[in-house]
Copies of this chain bind each other. A is one copy, B any other.
Amino acid sequence: MEIQVLRNVFKRNDALADVTRGMLGEAGVIGFNIISSAGAGKTSLLEAILPMLGRSMRAAVLEGDIATTHDAERIAKVGARVLQLATEGGCHLSAALVHEAVKRLDLDRLDAVFVENVGNLVCPASFDIGEHVRIAALSFAEGDDKPAKYPLLFKTADLVVLTKSDLAEMCDFNPARAERFIRTVNPDVPVMLVSVRTGHGLDKLIDWVVRRVEATIPVGTAV
């Protein structure tokens, strides 16, 4: 009985996610879903890359949070379009909430939408929100064994960013060990080391994002 209800929830979520993905795709907009634990540095990553991405694309950000508008305020400060999505206690963003937000965006004036999910290494990985690209972030402070212990996110990611790489010595984080665990569940996913603090790896990350955006060919574009 409970399982039935849960299945329906997933089915309805996934159907709405497909609608959102279609809306974005038709407008030639690529949707990114950024997932990590609380405090892995999702907002800091966006703060760092948005001004640099701004030269080559037009981006909007949807900030998912249980409470407060702290993150949306931070993103607004770097001059990006941002909407706050409040889950009000919910542990993940749903396709419905993201769909409502995407409807409010002027998609014709955008190339990319970055969705920052609720800080949680577990639940957001189970919910399709209509993204084209899923980015998993894991900070050096969290430990190199986390991809083994929380495999679903890393299995479903299109890119894994290992953040706060400047903490390497302080945290005994072995990137090779982390990568080995990641490759067990997702053999070909790119894995990048990044530190917003030192700037290490940001250029590579930006290149990757730009290439993904440029690879999106809007439906109806003359060739």
Contacts and interface: CB of A to CB of B under 8 A. Distances in A.
Interface of A: 1-2, 5, 9, 37-40, 65-68, 70-71, 89, 91, 118-123, 139, 141-143, 145-146, 148-152, 164, 166-167, 170-171, 197
A6 to B, nearest CB: 9
Contact of A120 (B9, B121, B170): B121
A121 B122 contact: no
A139 B119 CA distance: 14
A203 B27 CA distance: 59
Contacts of A65: 149
22 contacts: A2-B9, A37-B37, A37-B121, A37-B142, A38-B122, A38-B149, A38-B150, A40-B142, A65-B149, A66-B151, A67-B148, A67-B150, A67-B151, A68-B149, A91-B122, A118-B122, A119-B122, A120-B120, A120-B122, A120-B123, A122-B123, A141-B171
Nearest to A71: B149
Contacts of A70: 145, 148-149
A160 to B, nearest CB: 15
| Shortest beta-carbon contacts, A-B, top 7 | A39-B142, A141-B141, A91-B122, A37-B37, A39-B143, A38-B121, A91-B123
